[in-house]
Structure 1
Amino acid sequence: MATRLNKYLSQVGYCSRRVADRLIEEGKVTINGKISRIGAKLEEGDQVKVEGQRIDKSTKQKKIYLAFNKPVGIVCTTNRKVEPANIIDFINYPKRIFPIGRLDKPSEGLIFLTNDGDIVNKILRARNNHEKEYIVSVNRVIDRDFIQSMRNGVEILDTVTRRCFVKQLGGKKFKIILTQGLNRQIRRMCEALGYRVQSLKRVRIMNINLDIPTGKYREFTKEELLELNELLENSFKTFD
């Protein structure tokens, strides 16, 4: 049975499907010596290479799952040309890993890194409704209308954001729990209501809380990984 090339590279732990598509678009992936295209499929016995390196099931490595406390100024990209602030060079992990999703450069806090492409897709699919919790400070005092508007949904990017949990923590600070991940969502929501984000920190993704110093990482515990997999069990599978 034929397998899509991006899925194959994800399954053997080389990279996520998204990164695989980028490598394919850049002409860095070959099948049987020929440069591949997006949507290409593999048959049994086909030989895959990325930048000249042969990739097969023997390439598959132990699954790695890291929780990292990203500092402000670090860019969540696997592009090593982004210097000196790309997340891969900053962490300098001895094996190939990639971030799950992103936090923009001015934001900080929890982000996952892995070599498991399948878990990336399950966590990132917006319709799977996985919670992400943030602590946010804005440039002026928050009022009741702001909290209610954030809870009920704000019009940004030609859509209205999902209803969500929002709690005021201080004059200019609030907690928000999202189940979607629109581009720069919290910043855009605040801007639409006349506020500007001063600081934004992600403190939880699903069942895993931020509990490490800024700039440090740790492996998931066995208990965390077990619970995470249980939460992901009912997630929609990505297409083949």
Structure 2
Amino acid sequence: MNDTQGSRISKLMAERSLCSRREADAYIERGLVFVNGERITQLGTRAMPDAVITLAAEARATQARQVTILLHKPMSYVSGQAEDGHQPASSLISAKTQAAGSTQRFQLAHMKGLAPAGRLDIDSTGLLVLTQDGRVARQLIGDDSTVEKEYLVRVEGPLDSHDLALLNHGLELDGKQLRPAQVRWANEDQLCFVLKEGRKRQIRRMCELVGLRVTGLKRVRIGRVRLGDLSLGQWRFLRENERF
């Protein structure tokens, strides 16, 4: 270890998907992190990039208990904290709204530290991920995330081949070029968008730039996880064999 060289251990742990940086700091304070076999308890400690970092059994057990929830969010609910009189999506999560078929039952402990891993606008529906696991959050919304998000978007207005090409690549928002997208017609009045980023109200603003008006937006997939037949307002746990 070195106080001046290398990177902060919490940063290295997040980069290696061991946990989030916030979780790393909590584990370090509790003495649950080992670097090259040495227990670390001082926040801000640095290590070289090739350092061997491991978590104590207690920390691994804590991670094993963390849950990730998939919610079919209705309109009029906000993704995060309550705002402007609208309820947060997490308020929908209860034993009564859990979809049938899971062997794992809802407990109040599952709500502790549960946070949305990404946004879904108040006037949009579909798949919203909420998680206690910083590793999942970083995978889905970290700056270097490449996880695909798929949407069905009902639109009004004409769309020629040139504007469709612009939706796929060539638009910018707030002075910043958008990453390439995959946009195609799903049927006569719905477009299918596949994005690898999540700028604020991105799809609606993209459509406005080419003269389209969005009348409905539903997220149907995040990575390899699909909304499937999850009913509106219901939720389920991410299964052990599922990966984003």
TM-score category of the 2 structures, normalised to the smaller one:
0.5 to 0.7
Structure 1 residue 154 and structure 2 residue 171: aligned? Answer: yes
| Per-residue deviation, residues 85-133 of structure 1 (Å, max 9, x unmatched) | 2112222462221111110101110111111012201221243321110
User: CA separation in 2, counterparts of 1:81 and 1:150?
Assistant: 31
Structure number with larger C-alpha Rg: 2
User: 1:58, CA displacement in angstroms?
Assistant: 11
Which residue pairs with 1:85 in the alignment?
A: 87
User: 1:80, CA displacement in angstroms?
Assistant: 5.2
Structure 1 residue 201 and structure 2 residue 218: aligned? Answer: yes
Amino acid at match of 1:171: E
User: CA separation in 2, counterparts of 1:71 and 1:109?
Assistant: 7
Gaps of 5+ in 1: 19-30, 32-42, 47-55, 229-240
User: 1:159, CA displacement in angstroms?
Assistant: 1.5
2:205 match: secondary structure: helix
Contact 2:183 2:191 in 1 (8 A): yes
User: CA separation in 1, counterparts of 2:190 and 2:60?
Assistant: 50
Amino acid at match of 2:242: E
User: CA separation in 1, counterparts of 2:189 and 2:201?
Assistant: 19
User: 1:142, CA displacement in angstroms?
Assistant: 2.9
Which residue pairs with 2:50 in the alignment?
A: none
Q: Taking structure 1 as reference, are residues 127 and 60 closer, same or farther at Cα in structure 2, changes over 3 Å only?
A: closer
1:193-232 alignment, distance < 5 Å: 193-211=210-228, 212-225=230-243, 228=244
Structure 1 residue 44 and structure 2 residue 41: aligned? Answer: yes
1:191 match: secondary structure: helix
Q: Given the alignment, which residue of 66, 71, 76 partners 2:69?
A: 66
User: 1:149, CA displacement in angstroms?
Assistant: 1.2
Contact 2:78 2:86 in 1 (8 A): no
Length-normalised TM-score, structure 1: 0.67
1:174-189 alignment, distance < 5 Å: 174-189=191-206
Amino acid at match of 2:73: K
Amino acid at match of 2:189: K
User: CA separation in 2, counterparts of 1:17 and 1:213?
Assistant: 34
How many aligned residue pairs are there?
A: 192
2:116 match: secondary structure: strand
Q: Given the alignment, which residue of 106, 109, 112 partners 2:126?
A: 109
Q: Taking structure 1 as reference, are residues 81 and 179 closer, same or farther at Cα in structure 2, changes over 3 Å only?
A: closer
User: 1:3, CA displacement in angstroms?
Assistant: 6.3
User: 1:170, CA displacement in angstroms?
Assistant: 3.0
User: CA separation in 2, counterparts of 1:91 and 1:143?
Assistant: 42
Which residue pairs with 1:190 in the alignment?
A: 207
Contact 2:117 2:137 in 1 (8 A): yes
Q: Given the alignment, which residue of 125, 131, 136 partners 1:119?
A: 136
After TM superposition, what 4+ stretches of structure 1 lie above 3 angstroms from structure 2?
1-4, 56-61, 80-84
Which residue pairs with 1:53 in the alignment?
A: none
Structure 1 residue 75 and structure 2 residue 57: aligned? Answer: no
What's the % identity of the aligned pairs? 30
Contact 1:80 1:89 in 2 (8 A): no
